[in-house]
Amino acid sequence: MAKSCLPVVPLAIFGVIEPAMLVWAYIVAHQDLPSFYAAQAPPFPSPSSTTTNPPIPAQGLVLLLQLTNVYLLLAALAVICSFTRHASVSRWYLIAVAFADYGHIWACYQGVGPEVFWDLGSWNDMLWGGVGVSAALNAFRWLTVLGAFGAVRDPRDAALAKKRN
């Protein structure tokens, strides 16, 4: 595996799984932009529904395309900031994205309202991804920063410490 300052579990989560999920979300969104748009907030379209989704207003299309562009940007940043030897880069990246997770979850809360937000049984795939996955990744980010999976440190420092002993 490439040299990284992250321990193995966080490296797999933030350097491989999360970027792959972001690229997958980009692809899924672009396969059917109207469905992706309609699934953002209730009433959620049912997969078996024969009705078509309403057209996306120009403003919504611009925001949707910008959102999916951010998915690719975040995927690239996740890879770059996970596969670095610089512990401070990875640590500060994880902290910044952890705080951004709260904004993402809050945006979902504002969009769907408290009735849907607190009724997990009513969530669709979009809410599970936007809130559930974001909350889980947030916990992993903080656990990583706090050292629960091992120290976030430059792999060259570990090699030097072994040589000294």
Q: What is the predicted pLDDT for the residue at 154? A: 86
Helix (H), strand (E), coil (C) string for 34-96: HHHHHCCCCCCCCCCCCCCCCCCCHHHHHHHHHHHHHHHHHHHHHHHHHCCCCHHHHHHHHHH
Closest CA to 97 of 123, 135, 150: 135
- Could you tell me the two tokens for 87? 């512990």
In a domain, 143, yes or no: yes
In a domain, 76, yes or no: yes
Question: Which domain range does residue 24 map to?
Answer: 8-42+54-164
In a domain, 155, yes or no: yes
pLDDT tens digits, 104-135: 999 999 999 999 999 999 999 999 999 999 99
In a domain, 2, yes or no: no
Give mean pLDDT, residues 69-79.
Answer: 97
In a domain, 69, yes or no: yes
pLDDT tens digits, 8-29: 999 999 999 999 999 999 999 9
In a domain, 48, yes or no: no
In a domain, 13, yes or no: yes
Whole-angstrom Cα distance, residue 76 to residue 79?
5
In a domain, 1, yes or no: no
Work out the pLDDT band at 100, boundaries 50, 70, 90.
very high
Overall domain count for the chain: 1
Whole-angstrom Cα distance, residue 48 to residue 71?
28
